[in-house]
Amino acid sequence: MPQIIERKRKDGSIAYVAQINIRRNGKWAHRESRTFDKHSSASAWFKKRMKEITAAGADLTAVKSKGRTLSTAIDRYITESVKEIGRTKAQVLRSIREYDIASMNCIDIQSHDIVQFAKELGATRTPATVGNYLSHLGAIFAVARPAWGIPLDQQAMKDAFVVCNRLGITGKAKKRDRRPTLDELDALLTMFEDKHRRRPNSLPMHRVVGFALFSTRRQEEITRVAWKGLDQTHSRVFIKDMKHPGDKVGNDVWCDLPAPAMNIALAMPRKKPLVFPYHSDTISAAFTRACKVLEIEDLRFHDLRHEGVTRLFETGETIPQVAAVSGHRSWSSLQRYTHIKQTGDKYEDWKWLQRLTTSN
């Protein structure tokens, strides 16, 4: 029986899933579904599809192919994926639905259509970002036919990848070497500390920045650090769902935690299960806004991780020792730092070390 089901997404918004299930002679003759943001859109699609199915009569072959657009496959992938696909991936896939390729029938999509889509993306995005979009889309091409019988050609996607790489439409991200200066950090932490002093319940960005710098932790990882995940005895921290090229979810790792980072964490109030109970987007926005106000150019929050890793090498740590802190599984990722000569710790007498580790 056809129906429209209301479902709540993880971000709190409501989705409307229009389902069509047709049985003939005791077997499923045709099943399909599509997700919409509005009930009216779901209802309109359902009525249109039912007219097409009725007109097809007994032969539903053409209907099955025609009704299965790339948008349909995307919706089904997001809805039925048992494994959490991650906020970024879901956001990318939803944004793809706004392009012309999403309205194409799956059976008609060929490699040149994907290349054209990549070119459209490339008009406003970097080659590395285009590559990420195609990679996320490729996951749908990989499962659509064997899992749901949706006729997406996986070879067409593979061919498109090759073409886009050869033409320079996709490419690797440029390695950033931007490091914050002590003066820049002093300006940022002064602003953050002053704001927190005036509003004690506000986000303590001065401590977040300090922890990011000395722990080398990524922005979202910081927001997942729990008090029970701080091991003072062994100077380490439990990182849940650490970023990983293959599978972030469930990639839980213990990482060494340098003393300055541990002391900063211990200075936080123990009011909630998480050490830094704040949203990643809030941290990002606060950092970006502060840099703009202070006229600090081309500095990103993630640059603090690069600075932290560089500092460890400058203090004489080896690749294995640094990897134990940063969480890099492949030491080859740290080869870029091997040219750094030991120069000592420029943060050794830094005035902020004591200020960041003193509880308010």
Looking at residue 2, its pLDDT comes to: 47
Q: Where are the alpha helices (DSSP H) in the chain?
A: 39-56, 61-67, 70-80, 87-96, 111-122, 127-143, 154-167, 182-198, 205-215, 219-222, 259-266, 280-293, 303-314, 319-326, 352-356
User: What does pLDDT average to over the chain?
Assistant: 87
- Give the separation between CA 2 and CA 288, rounded to whole angstroms: 48
346-356 average pLDDT score: 92
- Give the separation between CA 9 and CA 35, rounded to whole angstroms: 11
Residues 131 and 187 in one domain: no
DSSP 267: T
Looking at residue 5, its pLDDT comes to: 87
Residues 79 and 110 in one domain: yes
* pLDDT, tens digit (0-9, with 9 covering 90-100), for 64-91: 555 578 998 998 888 887 566 677 788 8
Residue 61 predicted with pLDDT over 70: no
In a domain, 126, yes or no: yes
Looking at residue 58, its pLDDT comes to: 62
Residues 212 and 134 in one domain: no
Model confidence band, residue 358 (pLDDT cutoffs 50, 70, 90): confident
In a domain, 155, yes or no: yes
Per the model's pLDDT, the better-predicted residue between 148 and 118 turns out to be: 118
Looking at residue 67, its pLDDT comes to: 58
Residues 42 and 146 in one domain: yes
Residues 291 and 336 in one domain: yes
Residue 161 predicted with pLDDT over 50: yes
In a domain, 213, yes or no: yes
The percent of residues above 90 in pLDDT, for the chain, comes to 54
Looking at residue 217, its pLDDT comes to: 95
How many structural domains compose the chain?
Answer: 2
- The range of the structural domain enclosing residue 303 comes to 182-356
With 0-12 / 13-18 / 19 or more C-beta atoms within 10 angstroms meaning exposed / middle / buried, residue 176 is exposed
Please identify, among 135, 167, 199, the residue that sits at the C-terminal boundary of a domain: 167
Lowest-confidence segment of 43-52, 201-210, 279-288 by average pLDDT: 43-52
Please identify, among 110, 140, 167, the residue that sits at the C-terminal boundary of a domain: 167
Residue 162 predicted with pLDDT over 70: yes
Looking at residue 34, its pLDDT comes to: 77
The percent of residues above 70 in pLDDT, for the chain, comes to 92
pTM of the model: 0.66
Residues 212 and 114 in one domain: no
Looking at residue 50, its pLDDT comes to: 82
In a domain, 174, yes or no: no
Model confidence band, residue 288 (pLDDT cutoffs 50, 70, 90): very high
Residues 140 and 255 in one domain: no
Looking at residue 332, its pLDDT comes to: 74
State whether residue 135 is helix, strand or coil. helix
* pLDDT, tens digit (0-9, with 9 covering 90-100), for 234-283: 999 999 877 765 555 557 899 999 999 999 999 999 989 999 999 998 99
Please identify, among 167, 201, 223, the residue that sits at the C-terminal boundary of a domain: 167
SS3 of the chain: helix, strand, coil, percent, to 5: 55, 10, 35
Looking at residue 233, its pLDDT comes to: 95
Residue 1 predicted with pLDDT over 50: no
Residue 3 predicted with pLDDT over 90: no
Looking at residue 63, its pLDDT comes to: 57
Residues 62 and 139 in one domain: yes
* pLDDT, tens digit (0-9, with 9 covering 90-100), for 218-237: 999 999 999 999 999 999 99
